[in-house]
Structure 1
Amino acid sequence: MFRLFILIIGFSFAVSGGVSLIAFLNLITTGHGFVNYIIFISTRPELSIFIIGLALIWGSIYLPSFSKDSDE
């Protein structure tokens, strides 16, 4: 149950950060280059939220469970 909670939190972080990063792609259409976009998003907190969300999703799926009820 805890892993499901972490998965949902990670998914919500990844979605909110990813939507913001996609919305910032409009900077490229205003005349800024792709390099300027990368520099701009590297200073924004949305990138950190996106990366934290991906790490939470990855961790909840791939890290082993340490419950005492496992039959291994």
Structure 2
Amino acid sequence: MVSMVRIFIMFVGFGFSVAGGISLLAYLNLLTLGYEFSYYMRFITTRVEFYLFILGVIMVIGSLAIPDRRK
């Protein structure tokens, strides 16, 4: 049962990281419009997608790295 929860957390985290990562890549088009990289960094830290990406990566790493309690 515990492994099913870990798999669920991994899939949800993967979905969050994909949704956030695709949006962050799309926002890279701001650089082609002439904006500076520092503006891009300030802009993405105000977006929800950035925090979805970070949360998703943490969930995936957590579901894979936390050892199973069963032996």
- TM, length-normalised to structure 1: 0.90
2: CA distance, partners of 1:12 / 1:45:
14
Between Structure 1 and Structure 2, the one with more helix by share is 2
Residue in structure 1 matching 2:7, options 4, 8, 18: 4
- Please provide the CA RMSD for this pair: 0.8
Give the whole-Å Cα distance in 1 for the aligned partners of 2:16 and 2:22.
10
- Which 4+ runs in 1 deviate beyond 6 A? none
Which residue number corresponds to residue 20 of structure 1?
23
How many equivalent residue pairs? 68
Structure 1 segments unaligned to the other structure (5+ residues): none
Report the CA distance between 1:2 and its aligned residue.
0.8
**1:32 partner amino acid:** Y
Aligned counterpart for 1:36 among listed residues 35, 39, 47 = 39
Higher gyration radius (CA) = 1
Structure 2 unaligned segments of length 5 or more: list them: none
